[in-house]
Amino acid sequence: MRRPALASLLAATTAVSLTFALAFAPSRAAEEAVVIPTPAMDAAPASGIQTAVIAGGCFWGVQGVFQHTAGVVNAVSGYAGGTKATADYQTVSSGRTGHAESVEIKYDPKKISYGKILQIYFSVAHDPTQLNRQGPDSGPQYRSAIFTTSDEQKKVAEAYIAQLNSAKVFGRPIVTKVGALEAFYPAEAYHQDYLTLHPNQPYIAYNDLPKVENLKKLFADNYIEKPTLVSSAKATN
């Protein structure tokens, strides 16, 4: 399964369709938040804007979570793991490109650490125990993956996964793959800021808005009410 075609999604934003979707949905959202410990190892303090790239299912929800996270200066939906030639939505949706729907997070390490970003990622942004799927979406393009930009990020990510598995905070082992980022390709413009622009779209309302609410509940000190949108970041650069 995967999300409906984009045209259908944009046509399904009425209150009637939302009520119908929720009425026939299971009793809980696709991924539930899990309370997890902070990383025992974190990246060293740094100056300047840093980059983290993560994948955890549909990029709409992951982007939305980090757009509501303090210290994030931009969060862009896109593709990582494949080539530039195949970095488009329709091709990636085939599941044969090597790409994962990903989010590139630019953040201020003086306001949020790499470890805290990973804690939010594992806790509220997605379920790291689902292999090549996330909630209603299946295929390798929805895999759980961390694309590291340095050896330090790799060490922090691998140590945190080992820590969480050892603590058995999830009912199943974490399947998140950690590998070096080769390139990140921004997704098409209509995918950016999708959660904010389409809050009544049934897929967003059911699968993704609960993630933002869980961020607010579990990470109150890191939550901001007004999202940091891609459109705003472009306007200020």
- List 30, 43, 54, 58, catalytic entry: 58
Residues 168-182 pLDDT 10s: 999 999 999 999 999
Measured torsion, CA atoms of residues 114, 118, 120, 121, in degrees rounded to the nearest 10: 130
pLDDT exceeds cutoff 50 at 7: no
For the chain, give the percent of residues with pLDDT over 70: 85
Q: What is the mean pLDDT of residues 120-133?
A: 98
Q: What gap in Å lies between CA 108 and CA 50, rounded to an integer?
A: 6
Q: What is the mean pLDDT of residues 138-144?
A: 98
Separation in Å, CA 91 to CA 21, 36, 81, 86, 187:
28, 35, 13, 6, 12
Strand partners, 215: none
The per-residue pLDDT of the chain, averaged, comes to 89
Q: Residue 236: its pLDDT value, please?
A: 53
Q: Residue 231: its pLDDT value, please?
A: 87
Q: Residue 31: its pLDDT value, please?
A: 63
Q: What gap in Å lies between CA 135 and CA 141, rounded to an integer?
A: 13
Two structure tokens written together for 44: 């060293």
pLDDT exceeds cutoff 50 at 14: no
Residues 40-92 pLDDT 10s: 999 999 999 999 999 999 999 999 999 999 999 999 999 999 999 999 999 99
Closest by CA position to 176, among listed 113, 125, 106:
125
Closest by CA position to 76, among listed 206, 182, 188, 177:
188
Q: Residue 3: its pLDDT value, please?
A: 56
Residues 6+ apart with CB under 8 A from 188: 88, 89
Q: Residue 6: its pLDDT value, please?
A: 47
| 189 or 28, greater pLDDT | 189
Strands (E), the chain: 50-56, 72-80, 100-107, 133-134, 137-138, 144-148, 177-180, 184-186
pLDDT exceeds cutoff 50 at 19: no
Residues 6+ apart with CB under 8 A from 177: 143, 144, 145, 146
**Residue 222 falls in the annotated catalytic set:** no
Residues 205-221 pLDDT 10s: 999 999 999 999 999 99
Amino acid type, 103: V
Residue 232 confidence class, pLDDT cut points 50, 70, 90: confident
Q: Residue 23: its pLDDT value, please?
A: 34
Q: Residue 17: its pLDDT value, please?
A: 34
Q: Residue 204: its pLDDT value, please?
A: 97
Q: Residue 233: its pLDDT value, please?
A: 76
Q: What is the mean pLDDT of residues 15-31?
A: 39
